[in-house]
Amino acid sequence: MPTLTTDQSEKEIDYLLHFALSLEEAERSSVTIKNYLCDLNYFVKWFEQKTNQKLSPEQITPTDLRDYKHYLSEVLLLKPKTVNRKLSSLKSFLNWAVVEKLIPEHRTPRVPNPIPEVTVGPQWLDRNEQHALVRIVEQGKNQRDITIIQLLLNTGLRISELCSLMWSDIQITNRKGRLIVRSGKGGKRREIPLNQDARKVLQELGYHQNQNKKEAIFCGQRGAMTPRGVESMLHKYVTYTELNEVTPHKLRHTFCKNLIDAGVSLEKVAMLAGHENMETTRRYCSPSGHDLETAVELIGVGE
């Protein structure tokens, strides 16, 4: 992309378009680019209403940025996470403008510091919610779907790992079983023991008839199921319950939380989940809202 020059008229330059092209050249995803442009268009609209000027990077001042942050957080009352994302998009845009020589580096307006956020831990289903989900899926009487839900809850597989499973990755004996993830995150291989619930649903799906076959376990009408297909299947069932959004990743979190609640050590949970960093696993030790509610109920006097 040719470098822009500041002597071009404002009408000739679509700054956001050129910024988007630079993101494409940097091989950023289409979703990322869309999010950047959405945030920046929000700022452009605010800036032009406030100043009665068409936006050009060199006209943005530190005062504009402080006022914009105040507008987002104090007027619109947006959540800190949303405000911080919009400010981050602006910072990326201004950094690009410096590289393109639209703003001298020493005159780049400083983007205000982000708003401190309360860290939100992983989201999971409590025991009642797990039972409600399993029950509604079992009522559908689709053994493939039942097996998917039980495997996600009892193995903590990532959705990509689930979709790539073949029958040859499963080994079941009378009292034991294991599942092999041949290429997990970072291409790492790991083995996950299968408990009784997981073994049972795999056997009912056809393990003994398909043992050692290098064929996908979970298939749809067009072949092996895709992550999107699994998400759609799960959404179909959840719409008939009072549960909030349930995703395959939330079921993975639930697996880890269940292990922690059962007293399993962090090292074992990390190995089973395929976590590279122990700090990722440690997040599941943080109490959820439900955990806190249960805790205070323990000291209630009652009648």
**Which part of the chain is CATH 1.10.150.130?**
10-107
pLDDT value of residue 36: 93
Minimum mean pLDDT range among 49-58, 62-71, 146-155, 192-201:
49-58
**Which part of the chain is CATH 1.10.443.10?**
127-297
- pLDDT over 90, % of the chain: 69
Contact 259, 170 (CB under 8 A): no
pLDDT value of residue 60: 95
Q: Where are the alpha helices (DSSP H) in 74-185?
A: 80-99, 127-140, 143-155, 159-163
SS3 182: coil
Enter the DSSP assignment of 44: H
Minimum mean pLDDT range among 67-71, 146-150, 236-240:
236-240
Minimum mean pLDDT range among 34-48, 108-122, 250-264:
108-122
Read off the pLDDT band of 10 (50, 70, 90).
very low
For tokens 């995150």, name the residue: 185
Mean pLDDT of 266-293: 83
Q: Which CATH number fits domain 10-107: 1.10.1740.10, 1.10.150.130, 3.40.50.300, 3.40.50.720?
A: 1.10.150.130
Mean pLDDT, the chain, rounded, equals: 89
Q: Which CATH number fits domain 127-297: 1.10.357.10, 3.60.15.10, 3.40.50.300, 1.10.443.10?
A: 1.10.443.10
pLDDT value of residue 7: 41
Contact 164, 183 (CB under 8 A): yes
Read off the pLDDT band of 38 (50, 70, 90).
very high
The model's pTM: 0.60
Q: Give tens-digit pLDDT for 19-35.
A: 999 999 988 888 889 99
How far is it, in rounded angstroms, from Cα 83 to Cα 85?
Answer: 5
How far is it, in rounded angstroms, from Cα 233 to Cα 127?
Answer: 21
Q: Give tens-digit pLDDT for 154-194.
A: 999 999 999 999 999 999 998 899 999 998 888 889 999 99
- Does residue 8 carry a pLDDT above 60? no
